[in-house]
Copies of this chain bind each other. A is one copy, B any other.
Amino acid sequence: MISQTMEDYLAAIYRVETVAHRATTGAVARRLGVSAASASAMFHKMADAGLVRYREYLGVTLTATGRLQATQVVRRHRLTERFLTDMLGIGWDRVDKVADQMEHALPEEVTESFARVLGDAARCPHGYPIPSVSGEVAVRETVSLAQMAVGSGHIAWVSEDDPVLLADLARRGLVPGAHVQVLTGEPGGKRRMVRVAGRAAAGLQVRLLQAVAVEVEMDARP
């Protein structure tokens, strides 16, 4: 009933919605590497299938059933990523693409086995939450590192889109769970002093603005 391609669209829409509340044709097409025309045609089909609400020229939003399906696809994707890094030792900068390629062929039996051998991992290697079987997603209050006030916290997640950036972040210790301190500077400012895992993050200041991809969960202020 719901094709593999449609699953890819569901996941893409889900991801776009988490940052934009409405997924436009272009944004989804870009994410999937297809033409806008193809995405438009697929939106019609998905609306017919009751997975999305479609408003022409404005984009789509997931229906309840669409959202549930989407979380399952995302669960599968993130469990697969976790499996690829933890069990096979594949670098976290490549697992997103690899998981994309293999996930739609994985039977539920296999991904749930991943969950079992991984001890029900809560997050993917980039720090995003893994939805539960019933579709629940743990939400966390975070700020981007660039917008963070002076203080300390732990990295919650980093965007998995760009392998080059990911490899760079790993070299600098900017991985989920790492302790970060912002010592000086205004939120959004250009000059900031940052420590990662206790060490000064040299050269990080310049890159900060690009690093909107890094989200931090701030420590409670005493």
Closest to A4 in B: B105
Q: A104-B105, A105-B105 known; A110 and B98 CB under 8 Å?
A: yes
Question: Do the beta carbons of A90 and B109 come within 8 Å of each other?
Answer: yes
Rounded to whole angstroms, the CA-CA distance of A184 and B9 in the bound complex is 63
Q: How far is the CB of A78 from chain B (nearest CB, A)?
A: 16
Residue positions of A touching B, CB distance < 8 A: 84, 87-90, 98, 101-107, 109-110, 113-114, 116-117
Q: How far is the CB of A129 from chain B (nearest CB, A)?
A: 23
Question: Do the beta carbons of A107 and B102 come within 8 Å of each other?
Answer: yes
Rounded to whole angstroms, the CA-CA distance of A106 and B102 in the bound complex is 5
Q: A88-B110, A110-B88 known; A102 and B105 CB under 8 Å?
A: yes
Closest to A97 in B: B107
Question: Do the beta carbons of B90 and A101 come within 8 Å of each other?
Answer: no
25 contacts between A and B (CB under 8 A): A87-B87, A87-B117, A88-B110, A88-B113, A88-B114, A88-B116, A88-B117, A89-B113, A90-B109, A90-B110, A90-B113, A98-B107, A98-B109, A98-B110, A101-B105, A101-B107, A102-B102, A102-B105, A102-B106, A102-B107, A102-B110, A103-B105, A104-B105, A105-B105, A105-B106
Copies in the complex: 2
Rounded to whole angstroms, the CA-CA distance of A179 and B98 in the bound complex is 42
Closest to A113 in B: B88
Q: Which B residues are CB-close (under 8 A) to A116?
A: 88
Q: Which B residues are CB-close (under 8 A) to A87?
A: 87, 117
Q: How far is the CB of A116 from chain B (nearest CB, A)?
A: 8
Q: Which B residues are CB-close (under 8 A) to A114?
A: 88
Q: How far is the CB of A135 from chain B (nearest CB, A)?
A: 23
Point out the residue from B98, B101, B110 that lies within 8 Å of A84, measured CB to CB. B110
Q: Which B residues are CB-close (under 8 A) to A90?
A: 109-110, 113
Q: Which B residues are CB-close (under 8 A) to A104?
A: 105
Q: Which B residues are CB-close (under 8 A) to A117?
A: 87-88
